[in-house]
Amino acid sequence: MIRPSLRLTSALLCALSLTLTASCSGARYRSTTDDGARTGPGSVSTAQCDSYQPTAGVSDKDITLGTTLPVTGPLAAAGTIRYGLQAYFDYINAEHGGVKGHRVRLLVRDDAYDPARAATNVGELTGHSNVFALVSPVGTANVLAFRDDLEQQCIPNLLVASGAPAFADTAHPWTLTGLPTYSAEAAALAETITASKKVKTVAVLSQNDDYGRAYLDAFQARLAGSHVKVVAKRTYDVTQPTVDTQVTQLAATKADAVLVAALGAKCPQITNGIADTTWRPKVLVGSLCTTRSLMQLMKPAARDALVTTQWYKSPGNKRWASDPAMALYRKKIAQYAPKADPNEDFVLNGWLWGQLTVDLLERAPKLTRADVMSTARAASLKTDTMLDGVSFRTGPDDASPLESLQPVQYTASGFSPIDAATGKLLPNGETKLVSFEGTSGKTK
């Protein structure tokens, strides 16, 4: 069965049909390597496992996966990842016979973005519910709360919804991030201001945890030796009701730019707070700040000139209105997850991670935990919902699978890609990715 992809063969089949028929738009997606070859497994050892159960969660008919994420609480927007995951698995089950004849089941648990609850959820999922693997659990502190337990049991922890460098570490072979590292994103944002002669000073407001520190460290490392100087740094705790004091203190610096390393509701709170002052810096934010639900909470003045990065086809971008992959996504979200907002980036992320999960399961020689994790550790995949030029690559010494980003600048009416080397907006339809290995980068 062929799924729509960016391979020439699939493109030609659709072109021969002259119009986008159901056989093309409804076909099952298969990711490819750059040359179209299938990936093969690497080698993940089970020697250190306390009790390795290779096929736990796999029956004659089903393969059961689990996730824990914030369905409720201050970061509930990220919990909508579950809609995209579930919709893709339901689509594969109903229309393509599942994976190797197995229906993919997903068990979802709400942790309200609380690490203790996340650890409890995972204990139940891997114990009583006996899931085969975790897929796309959300949050740095949350995943750190149970990562080592999964490692000791040799349970795959796939496509973690956190870009913390801790999850792009070959020393933890059973855990794999599903995002570009925050370090790479922070470095890409730094690139956009080092190219500008107008920006000489920058302030930083960051979340007081591993997430915020990862951004700050990489951002400062990328600015080292450049003409741009960090003139002030402030932090906030997730539980703080407001960040007004920090915004006021940073506004007093009159810095030319500000890095906002925030999550959830704090993103619009901070950007709106800046817009309410007389300070007009270039505002740099992580991509998790620019999901549809958060952008809708920002005032037009707060969205204007906002700079972030992208690596997937954002469903809020009109550029993808007629894209076949996005048309299929919207159709199936409406069919299998009618409560979800298809324009929400987190929903698209879930769908994309569902694509990658199914690909990894299919490519594994057998449906065993070691084979699936080994396959994930030696992958070169491309989904049709990623930007052109972006791929998912891993290897024995590379646990950072997504290393290409496109800087973009928002306005009150939309956004445009940026050439990081010049700081100039690119014409509609053009991209110029910044590619990174670790936190060193170059423009492609």
The 10s digit of each residue's pLDDT in 230-242 is 999 999 998 899 9
Per-domain residue ranges for the chain?
Answer: 62-180+315-381, 183-310+405-443
Distance CA(372)–CA(107), nearest Å, equals 19
62-180+315-381: CATH number: 3.40.50.2300
Q: How many CB atoms lie within 10 A of CB 430?
A: 10
Angle at 416 between CA 414 and CA 420, to 5 degrees: 145
Of 413, 438, 444, 443, the C-alpha closest to 185 is 438
The more confidently predicted of residues 356 and 210 is 356
Are the folds of 62-180+315-381 and 183-310+405-443 the same? Answer: yes
Is domain 183-310+405-443 classified as CATH 3.90.550.10?
A: no
133 pLDDT above the threshold of 50: yes
How many residues can be counted in the chain? 444
User: Between these two residues, 254 and 41, which has the higher pLDDT value?
Assistant: 254
pLDDT digits (tens, 9 = 90+) for 264-287: 889 999 999 999 999 999 999 998
Token pair in block for residue 264: 């959830």
Could you report the per-residue pLDDT of 339-359, keeping only the tens digit for each? 999 999 999 999 999 999 999
pLDDT of 425:
83
With bands split at pLDDT 50, 70 and 90, how would you rate the model's confidence at 429? low
Please give the average per-residue pLDDT across 147-174, as a whole number. Answer: 94
Which pair of structure tokens corresponds to residue 110?
A: 């709400």
Contact 243, 266 (CB under 8 A): yes
Distance CA 145, CA 121 (A): 11
What pLDDT score does 29 carry? 53
**Top-confidence residue, 42 or 244:** 244
Q: Greater confidence, 437 or 266?
A: 266
At 235, list the tokens.
Answer: 């932090």
Percentage of the chain beyond pLDDT 90 is 67
Taking alpha carbons only, the member of 166, 182, 175 closest to residue 137 is 175
Average pLDDT, whole number, for the chain? 87
User: What pLDDT is attached to residue 214?
Assistant: 87
pLDDT attached to residue 30: 53
* Segment of 30-39, 189-198, 361-370, 415-424 carrying the highest mean pLDDT: 361-370
Task: Give Cβ neighbours of residue 128 (< 8 Å, ≥ 6 apart).
Answer: none
